[in-house]
């Protein structure tokens, strides 16, 4: 079921309602003040990303170009490995090489 977001013009509050798609056009009252002077607003959306897109992003050296120091590289390496493991990709060695390359490039800049 989708989560619909609303804004109440009377109490100036936002609220959410979990509702079946078939009931999306039914009038609801504000959960804060109970009035009907509300408007459904565009809520958050989620982009569906394939495993291949995630893998391509995680193994792209440009994804690591913003790192400032070695600690950032280690943190990002661990986070990325966890994300890759979550989607069933084994990119450990390739990812370590990219992280090392990024560290070397950052050290050369200093």
Is 35 in the same domain as 66?
no
Classify residue 36: in a domain, yes or no: yes
What pLDDT sits at residue 8? Answer: 93
What pLDDT sits at residue 30? Answer: 92
Is 36 in the same domain as 70?
no
Is 28 in the same domain as 76?
no
Classify residue 46: in a domain, yes or no: no
pTM of the model: 0.40
pLDDT per residue rounded down to tens, the chain (110 residues): 678 889 999 999 999 888 888 887 888 899 999 999 999 887 666 666 777 777 777 677 666 565 555 566 666 666 676 677 666 767 667 776 777 777 777 676 65
How many domains, the chain?
A: 2
Classify residue 96: in a domain, yes or no: yes
Q: Which long-range contacts (CB under 8 A, 24 or more apart) does 40-46 make?
A: 40/4, 40/5, 40/6, 41/5, 41/6, 41/7, 41/14, 42/5, 43/3, 43/4, 43/5, 43/16, 44/5
Is 61 in the same domain as 104?
yes
Residues with Cβ within 8 Å of 33's Cβ and at least 6 positions away in sequence, in order, are 8, 10, 11, 13
Is 74 in the same domain as 37?
no
Which residue range is the domain that position 69 belongs to? 51-109
What pLDDT sits at residue 33? Answer: 94
Classify residue 86: in a domain, yes or no: yes
């Amino acid at each position: 079921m989708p989560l619909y977001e609303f804004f109440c013009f009377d109490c100036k509050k936002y609220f959410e309602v979990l509702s079946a798609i078939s009931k999306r056009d039914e009038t609801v009252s504000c959960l804060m003040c109970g009035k009907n002077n509300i408007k459904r607003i565009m809520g958050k959306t989620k982009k569906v990303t394939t495993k291949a897109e995630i893998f391509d992003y995680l193994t792209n050296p440009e994804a690591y170009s913003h790192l400032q120091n070695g600690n950032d590289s280690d943190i990002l390496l661990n986070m990325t490995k966890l994300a890759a493991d979550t989607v069933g990709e084994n990119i450990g060695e390739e990812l370590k090489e990219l992280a090392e390359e990024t560290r070397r490039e950052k050290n050369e800049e200093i």
